[in-house]
Structure formats: structure tokens, C-alpha cells
Structure 1
Amino acid sequence: MTEHSDAPLIDSAVEASLEKQQAADSENQRNKKVLARQVARYLMQNPTFFAENLDLLETIQVPRESGKTVSLMTHQTNLLRERNIEMRQRLDQLLQNARDNDQLFMHSRRLVLALLEARTVAEAGRALLQSFRDDFNVEVTALTLFGPLPGSGKQLGDVRSYSRASAETSIGSILRNGRTVCGTLRPAETSFLFGDDAERVASAAVVPLANQLGILAVGSSDPNHYRSSLGTLFLSYIGEILERLLPDMLARS
């Protein structure tokens, strides 16, 4: 008499049961996804739903980065608080920028008026150096004019004077470039532009004045203060004003 084992039948039954369970789980997942989309669509179409059912807000849980869950109402409150703080910070920054711009305008206006009221090169140079030092916190400022100068060329005050040939020898590349230069200069260039103050200058911004009139330079002890990417609109603007005022002053001297 032959003996028969029931093991294969049991294994088949277990496998079939597992497959059925997996199919059911997969179907449940699909149903949950469909239901989630339906709920999301309904809430989008009915934005006042929670306003009309406030009691639900306390029952809905939202996960946080810490791993804890909080009610939707608490989550919304925290989110609004964070956004409020961010908006206040942005507003404070805007107000600070506005104050800085107002101050820049007032300082610029005062400097321009002082230059317009100056009658001599010495007065213009004194107004320029004082404004840059006191109002714009510039460490070192140097205004150099190239000779031979119109008129006598005397009484220049703090304004320096060199021949064009000497300037070509020391800062020829800057002059030929013709545009504002920012960054670290060569030792010979720094020495020519700033004289006795050259040792204090680690970076500089240099504006050649038109018609070979001269050059305006500002320097800082910080090597990163005047970078090649630094905006030079204001310095170029002051240079243009000097280009228009200085020739008449020199002619009257």
C-alpha cells in the first residue's frame, strides 16, 4: 500500500493564501491612493470645509521634522508664526536699506554741493577728502592731476600733481584701460597713487579722469574690500563731476 504526503497540498494552500493576501493589500493601497486623491480634490474645491468643521482640525495629525506629530491647527499656527517672523525680518531689511539709501543720498548731495561751491582746486580737494573720510568711511583717498597744468598749477593743497610721463611709467596699464579698476594693485602703482599712505593700502579702486586730467583713487587696508566685482557707479559719478569742475578751477589759478 502506497503512502501519500499532504505536504505539497499544504504548501500550495499557504502560497495561495499569501498571494490572495498580497493581492488584497495591493488593492487596499490602490483604493487608499484613489481615496486620497478624491479627498484632496474635494478640499481644493471646498476651501471653507475646515472653517465649517473646526472640530476636525484638532483630530488631524501632521508629522514634524522632530518625528513628533501635532494637530493641523497647531501646525498652521506655527507655520503662520514662522512666516510672520520671516516677513518682519524682510521688512526690517527693506527699512534698513531705505535708511542707508537716504543717508547715501544726503552724503552725496552734501559732497556735490561742496564741490560746486569750491573756487580752487585746493578747496575741491579738501571737500572731497573730508567727505570720503567722514561720510563714506574711506580710509585713504588720493586725487592726482597730471601736468603741465593750465594756469600756474600752484596752490593745489592736498591734491597731488605729477607729469603725464611719470604717470605713464608707473600706472600706464590703468590709464590705457580707461575704466575704473578695483582690486589689488602692483607695489609701484600703489606707491604712485597713494604716496606716503601706500603702506596702508591693501586694495584700491581707481578712476581715470577724462582728457588725461588725472586720476582719483581710494584705498583700504582690507585686501578684500575693493574687489574686482565691486560696484563703482558712485566713484565714477564723482569722477565725472571732477572732470567738469577742475579744468575751470585750474584755468583760474
Structure 2
Amino acid sequence: MTDHSDAPLLDSDVEASLDRQEAADSESQRSKKLLARQVARYLMQNPTFFAEHMDLLESIQLPKESGKTVSLMTHQTNLLRERNIEMRQRLDQLLQNARDNDQLFLHSRRLVLALLEARTVAEAGSALLGSFKNDFKVEFTTLTLFAPLPGSGQQLGDVRSSARTSAEAAIGSILRNGRTVCGTLRPSETAYLFGKHADRVASAAVVPLAGQLGVLAVGSSDPNHYRSSLDTLFLSYIGEILERLLPDLLARS
């Protein structure tokens, strides 16, 4: 008969051995973490350490996403190269923005002077529409004034005239809002503002002129060009100039 009396003792010895091994592993891990903190603290307190031990930089290995490792010095070189490229890109963008702002200023200055020199509504309209088309590359621009107009109001040139009641029926919500709006308009709004070009306008910006004077509208065949988030400061600025200029020109007609 086989004697099994020692089996429980053997199992107990194995379990005890495993427990000791786990305890040793745990202690080893704690020691490594403690040592890592000590090393990190030392390096923070001695930032010139590697300057005095340059040979260590090549021996320190860092993991990469590809699974390979590179030296700390190589990692720093790559990091500096990436930052240099990013800074160059930012600088290029700043320079481009500066050039764009210079062009915007020059075009705006030329437009404002042309509007101030206009002696009739037709001349003002021609200056506005020509500048928007040639300088600002706007696809579609309309300036609509609401009748009845001061004076005769006959010499309007490319400036459109519309009864206020027609405007209320077509773009009443835009007029009541009183602020520049951008985005995709309703078909009836687009048709009223852009006439024969309405079917080509996919997005627009509309500037109601104060005092029930009229409305300035610009459009694009690109549905994303005039988004609701677009900065409308420039268009509002031109609208304010027209609000001050047009009443006097209409009175002279």
C-alpha cells in the first residue's frame, strides 16, 4: 500500500515557497520604484548631471512606437527637429496672415476712398461691386435699396431698387434680425437677393442696412464658403459706410 501521509506537507512547502517568491518579487518591485523616484529626484535637483556625463546619453535607451529603441540623444535630436519644423510652419502661417492683412487693408482703403469720391448712387454701386468682384474675389454681390427713395432715385446703375413690402415678404426674418447673417438661405430669400443668379448661389452673407435703407448681399457657389461661424466684421464695416453715404447720394439724385 502506498503511504500518502507526506502529501499535505509537500503541498504546504510548495505554497510557502511560492509565497516567499511573491514576497521577494513584491519587495523587488518596491525597491525598483523607490530607486526610480530617488534617481528622478536626484536628476531634478542636479539638472547639469548629463552635461558632466555626456557619455551616458548614448547609453540610455528610450522605446519608440515601432517597438525599437533609440538613445536619449537621438530622441532629443528628433524632438528638436520636429519642434523646429512646427515653429517654421507657424512662422510661415504668421507671415502669410500678415501678407493677407496687408492686402485686405489696401483693398479696403481703395474701396472706401472710391465710395467717398462717388457723386451718385450709380458710382457708389459701381465702385462697390467692382471692388468686391476684382479685389475681394466675391462671386455674387447685390446692393438693394428699398423704395420709396429720397429724391428721384432714378440713376441707380447696377444698384437694385425694391419696394419695402416685397423685401418684408421675402427676407423679413433677416431684416428683423438687423445683424449680418451667413449661411444657406431659403430659396425665396436667395431668389429675392440674387435674382437671375439665385440658382448658382449655395451660401451667402447678408447685411441689413440701418434705417430701412436696403440690404447688401454677397454669395458663393460653394455651400461652405459663407458659414454661420464666418467673421462678418468686414462686411458689417462696409455696411456702416453705406448707411452713412447713400442717404446723401440719394438726396442728390
The TM-score by the shorter chain falls in which range?
Answer: over 0.9
How much has 1:117 moved relative to structure 2?
1.2
User: Could you say which residue in structure 1 is the equivalent of 2:171?
Assistant: 171
The amino acid of 1:42's aligned partner reads Y
User: Could you say which residue in structure 1 is the equivalent of 2:95?
Assistant: 95
Whole-angstrom distance in 1 between the partners of 2:101 and 2:4? 97
**What SS is found at the alignment partner of 2:182?**
strand
User: Could you say which residue in structure 2 is the equivalent of 1:141?
Assistant: 141
- Residue 181 of structure 2 is aligned to residue 181 of structure 1: yes
The amino acid of 1:93's aligned partner reads Q
User: Could you say which residue in structure 1 is the equivalent of 2:66?
Assistant: 66
User: Could you say which residue in structure 2 is the equivalent of 1:211?
Assistant: 211
TM-score, normalised to structure 1's length? 0.94
The amino acid of 1:148's aligned partner reads P
**What SS is found at the alignment partner of 1:58?**
helix
Whole-angstrom distance in 1 between the partners of 2:161 and 2:55? 83
**What SS is found at the alignment partner of 2:157?**
coil
Query: Quick check: 35-44 or 107-116, which moved more?
Result: 107-116
Provide the aligned C-alpha RMSD in A.
1.6
Whole-angstrom distance in 2 between the partners of 1:177 and 1:26? 70
Whole-angstrom distance in 2 between the partners of 1:64 and 1:93? 30
For structure 1, list consecutive stretches of 5 or more residues without a partner in the other structure.
Answer: none
How much has 1:96 moved relative to structure 2?
1.3
User: Could you say which residue in structure 2 is the equivalent of 1:222?
Assistant: 222
User: Could you say which residue in structure 1 is the equivalent of 2:80?
Assistant: 80
- Residue 173 of structure 2 is aligned to residue 193 of structure 1: no
How much has 1:184 moved relative to structure 2?
1.9
Q: Deviations over 1:209-241 (max 9, x none)?
A: 111111101111122222222221111110000
- Among all aligned residue pairs of Structure 1 and Structure 2, give the percentage whose two residues are the same amino acid: 85
**What SS is found at the alignment partner of 2:114?**
helix
Whole-angstrom distance in 2 between the partners of 1:7 and 1:187? 91
**What SS is found at the alignment partner of 1:144?**
strand
How much has 1:38 moved relative to structure 2?
0.3
User: Could you say which residue in structure 2 is the equivalent of 1:22?
Assistant: 22
The amino acid of 2:118's aligned partner reads A
For structure 2, list consecutive stretches of 5 or more residues without a partner in the other structure.
Answer: none
Whole-angstrom distance in 2 between the partners of 1:11 and 1:189? 88
* Matched length: 252
Whole-angstrom distance in 2 between the partners of 1:156 and 1:3? 120
User: Could you say which residue in structure 2 is the equivalent of 1:121?
Assistant: 121
User: Could you say which residue in structure 2 is the equivalent of 1:106?
Assistant: 106
How much has 1:4 moved relative to structure 2?
7.1
Whole-angstrom distance in 1 between the partners of 2:124 and 2:69? 69
Query: Quick check: 201-210 or 179-188, which moved more?
Result: 179-188
Whole-angstrom distance in 1 between the partners of 2:60 and 2:33? 18
How much has 1:3 moved relative to structure 2?
5.7
TM-score, normalised to structure 2's length? 0.94
